[in-house]
Chains A and B, each alone.
Chain A
């Protein structure tokens, strides 16, 4: 019961990596909004973010673990939602561990690294943002936007389906005036906010940059990367 994650990880050799982060891009508003402040989203499957994440994570983990290719129902992992009853989220079993039993092949690896969307409360009526997206804050004198990639990583035991470790990707630095609880960066002039069709190359590049910079750090902080 009180075994450390480090102890549990010592027995892990074969792992599979699952990523369900990059199916849609969320566009949200905050601050001095109009009455309609609902967020919207558009598909970004064509960006191949989940393949990129698996590829990068594999490169980081190789040397400590033997990463095995796995097939999985990405939509099922992407569709998991938190309960509005906050305590329920604490006491119910991990929903991703349950999905591992039915939606992943092959089974029986020592552990699975599951990378899914993280959520963040942005205050007020705008509620929560999650996964990949762009948020625009409006104030009396200016508007400004940030691109974000909020994700969390679980290490789940492949036999007991217990969550060995879980961690959300952290902000890349603490020097921004406005922050989000995960990798984010301000938009520059090259990013169009209103594209809405997933064909904006500069937006895709900005998201990939956030993933590429944050993923090795997060895996390293979880003690999953080989010690160099």
Chain B
């Protein structure tokens, strides 16, 4: 991400955010309708009353993107039942800035080293808590707290239409292991505003990352009826994903993706998966977003 550009993308599964998003859409609706017609910035904000040293000036044109999507995926990792979750879309960036290709599985990231085709920097991901009461398959296994994974990423584009990426993150909270995600994506611009991408995925996890979700100790075994299982780390999942994005006009964009992975190693061998779940994990997502410009001067 270049200096001066601020991008924040968040996703969550709580209904409250859906309500906030709906209210935001309604509030901005009246503003952007006139802006879309005129092709000008929707509104102008005054510059902040002071400027902090070392930070880029906020003056100029910015693009605000808001939207909503839905994701239909496993109830929990290893589950054989799926659930639908809302996914808010929100980003602010410099007007006209070309956003780098982003895969559905990518964590939030910011570049610290940028050669153009090779970038590296910080990456992070939020892992939702797993509560035993949310699913009958988890009965007796206890809760796993939410986890924050913090680490780094490196990605390389040998050509515009092919990306290699690795994120390696250390977990805090719900797990204290290391997770390393590898992905490759062929990115094919089919027509103006219409892009299709697809490629393989692979995940490696340490024992401390696997154990809280797939290990079963004696107490959990007694409470759940599953057999005791000591989950070790190693190759965790392999699969593939595909994504389609279509910019309908300068303001509206729709996207859809599907991600499939098959659990490997002790994640696949855990009784939670073999008895009550599935090693095949498929996630499907759709979304639509609206972008408009505003000015700070």
Contacts and interface: CB of A to CB of B under 8 A. Distances in A.
A127 B117 contact: yes
Contact of A30 (B57, B96, B160): B160
Interface residues of B, number: 60
Given A31-B161, A178-B192, A170 B40 contact: no
Given A31-B161, A124-B159, A124-B187, A166 B57 contact: yes
A98 interface: no
Nearest to A8: B51
Interface majority SS (helix, strand, loop, mixed), chain B: loop
Interface string A175-186: 111111110100
Q: Nearest 3 pairs between A and B by C-beta? A: A127-B116, A124-B160, A2-B50
Contacts of A37: 159-160
B295 interface: yes
Nearest to A124: B160
Interface in A70-123: 84-87, 89-91, 119-123
A86 B110 CA distance: 10
B16 interface: no
A162 to B, nearest CB: 9
A213 interface: no
Contact of B51 (A2, A122, A179): A2
B46 to A, nearest CB: 10
Interface of B: 1-4, 35, 39-41, 47, 49-57, 59-61, 63, 94-101, 111-117, 121, 157-161, 163, 187-194, 247, 249-251, 292-293, 295, 297
A52 interface: no
Interface of A: 1-6, 30-35, 37, 84-87, 89-91, 119-128, 137-142, 144, 165-168, 170-171, 173-182, 184, 221-223
Contacts of B1: 86
Nearest to B2: A121
30 contacts: A4-B49, A37-B159, A86-B2, A86-B3, A86-B114, A86-B121, A90-B55, A120-B2, A121-B98, A123-B100, A123-B160, A124-B100, A124-B157, A124-B159, A124-B160, A126-B160, A139-B189, A140-B188, A140-B191, A141-B191, A166-B56, A170-B295, A171-B95, A174-B35, A174-B39, A174-B63, A179-B98, A182-B96, A184-B96, A221-B297
Given A86-B3, A124-B117, A222 B59 contact: yes
B62 to A, nearest CB: 9
B101 A124 contact: yes
Contacts of B54: 90-91
Nearest to A171: B96
A181 B63 CA distance: 10
Contacts of B53: 1
B160 A171 contact: no
Contact of B115 (A34, A84, A120, A171): A84
Contacts of B4: 168
Nearest to B293: A174
A221 B47 CA distance: 10
Contact of A177 (B49, B161, B193): B193
B188 A86 contact: no
A124 B161 contact: yes
B3 A165 contact: no
A140 B95 contact: no
B124 to A, nearest CB: 17
B183 to A, nearest CB: 15
A181 B96 contact: yes
Contacts of A139: 189-192, 194
